[in-house]
Structure 1
Amino acid sequence: MPTPLYTASPSRLLAWLDCPRRYRMQYLDRPRPAARAQRAHTSVGIATHNALRDFWDLPHADRTPAGVAALVRTSWIDVGFRDAEQSATWRLKVRDGVTNYLRGIDRHQQPLGIERSVSLRTDSIAVTGRIDRLDARDGELVVVDYKTGRHEPTETDARTSLPLALYAAGASRTMRRPCFRVELHHIPTGNVVAHEHTPESLQRKLAEAESIARDLRTADAEFREQGTESPRFPARPSAMCPWCDYRAHCEEGQRMGPEKSDWAGLETGT
């Protein structure tokens, strides 16, 4: 019998690269270890994405600053903030950031897809992902990914991103139209960075995904046989450990410094 395709999402592939221990706890352990409570910067990101998603459902007459403010207000998630004052301050920041960003685009040009799921298959993997926004421009598709954090993405981020490349390949196959351009839109600043893939560069990214999936297939099979005794899931200590949702279950991660506060992702110099 042929070997079944390994099914994964881009986030699953990247979780393995970041830390095999976190990958195991997030995707394999049953019951799954309890993750820490949601942080404020995650609440900001989700609320921003939801407002940008729902904006395109508004009638054209309501695509105004007042309409955006209403969307942000109804999308707001009051979780992880230091106090009510900090939450209110950041809600206004998100309102202003989303409003300014939308002023810089054609609000009457409806995207081809919003939070559109796309998939692709190769000889060894089946990958499914969800694109923040899929545009149709000059007969080709463009993948748009929203970024809401403090880090302002660069062209290198767009060029090297495995998820963006997989989204582009998946969109092309799902929609049967060319898709080579990927963009990162930084909502707080309105800056956009882009990369134009080629068929060859997308193929290299697919090969990268297949290579990761081969490792995951082996690791998953060993976990089914040995469980948490498997040596294939070592911790990979790094500067990200104080931010990890599963830090409470990882001694190596706890040794990397004190846990970040719920609102540390909103502050400069953290």
Structure 2
Amino acid sequence: MSSPPSVRPEQTGFAGMPTPLYGSSPSRLLAWLDCPRRYRMQYLDRPRPAARPQRAHTSVGIATHNVLRDFWDLPASQRTPQGVAELVRTSWIDVGFRDPEQSAAWRSRVRQAVTDYLRGIDRENQPVGIERSVSLKTDTIAVTGRIDRLDDRGDEVAVVDYKTGRAVPTDDDARTSLPLALYAVAAARMWRKPCTTVELHHVPSNTVARHRHTPESLQRKVAEAESIATDLRRADAEYADVGADSPRFAPRPSALCSWCDFRAHCPEGQAQGPEKSDWAGLVTTD
């Protein structure tokens, strides 16, 4: 008996049926733009190549996000500097730092930064969403992501994304962010309320980068996501046929290679220069 013919991913279903929506996330779409090889190793290879250990700046970012998430679960009487300090203590991730002294110094630094940031917001105005998963479907894609915070601003809801890195985001960063725009479209549909304002809140500097989209600019971002997803659909199908040897997954060497979690599996990335240390992403004076 002959074997049944192989079926490509885009050929599943019966003839005449519509092509299934391409399911993705904003981070998956952006991974493809950064480097097709990293995309392949992160999302397609099974078993997935081993990633490098977590860096300190990632530990700082995760801990900060967790504190800002759990803060809103505290009773009003505990939304104090002491309450924040306790959240930082219990949320701290002691991974990637040079030594215990550096970890302790950054724990204190994060506690102060989060406290200062929270002093500048209305702590009585409970957000309508904290780390809320949202989804957006179009004729070709189904995008799912998670919003750090969704604020009720009266006539509309606004998307807030926390940033903890060294670089202070600008209004232009908020304007060009693909994830923020997709979150805004998804939130407007799910809450049945306008959502055009997107913000990047840089916790270390206590600054806000803001952009107000128009319906036209949001539609352009949706079209951008659909275009990337079209490329990903083809790449995924080719991977299913020929595997990692497909030329679609050629590396895209850049300065990001020094930070890549999969650098150990990429000679071209290693050739871009030495790997960054575990704590290189922290703002240091030593």
- 1:29 maps to 2:45: yes
Q: 1:248/1:269 Cα in 2 relative to 1: closer, same or farther (>3 Å)?
A: farther
Shift, 1:269, TM fit: 8.5
Q: 1:12/1:269 Cα in 2 relative to 1: closer, same or farther (>3 Å)?
A: farther
Q: Provide the residue aligned with 2:77 in structure 1.
A: 61
Radius of gyration: which is bigger?
Answer: 2
Hey, what's the Cα distance between the residues in 1 that align with 2:154 and 2:98?
46
- Point out the more displaced range, 168-177 or 144-153: 168-177
2:115 to 99, 104, 108: 99
- 1:112 maps to 2:128: yes
Q: Map 1:40-189 onto structure 2 (within 5 A).
A: 40-189=56-205
**TM-score normalised by the chain length of structure 2:** 0.93
Q: Which runs of 4+ in 1 moved over 6 A?
A: none
Shift, 1:268, TM fit: 4.6
Hey, what's the Cα distance between the residues in 2 that align with 1:173 and 1:29?
34
Equivalent residues, number: 270
Give the secondary structure class of the aligned counterpart of 2:196: strand
List alignment gaps of at least 5 residues for structure 2. Answer: 1-16
1:224 to 240, 258, 266: 240
Hey, what's the Cα distance between the residues in 2 that align with 1:127 and 1:78?
33
**TM-score normalised by the chain length of structure 1:** 0.99
Shift, 1:177, TM fit: 1.0
- 1:237 maps to 2:253: yes
- Alignment root-mean-square deviation, CA: 1.0
Shift, 1:267, TM fit: 3.6
Shift, 1:48, TM fit: 0.1
Give the secondary structure class of the aligned counterpart of 2:73: coil
- 1:15 maps to 2:34: no
Q: Provide the residue aligned with 2:10 in structure 1.
A: none
CA deviation digits over 1:12-47, x for unaligned, max 9? Answer: 000000000000000000000000000000000000
Report % sequence identity. 76
Q: Provide the residue aligned with 1:262 in structure 2.
A: 278
CA deviation digits over 1:120-164, x for unaligned, max 9? Answer: 111000001100000011220100000000100000000000000
- Point out the more displaced range, 174-183 or 83-92: 174-183
Letter in 1 for 2:201: H
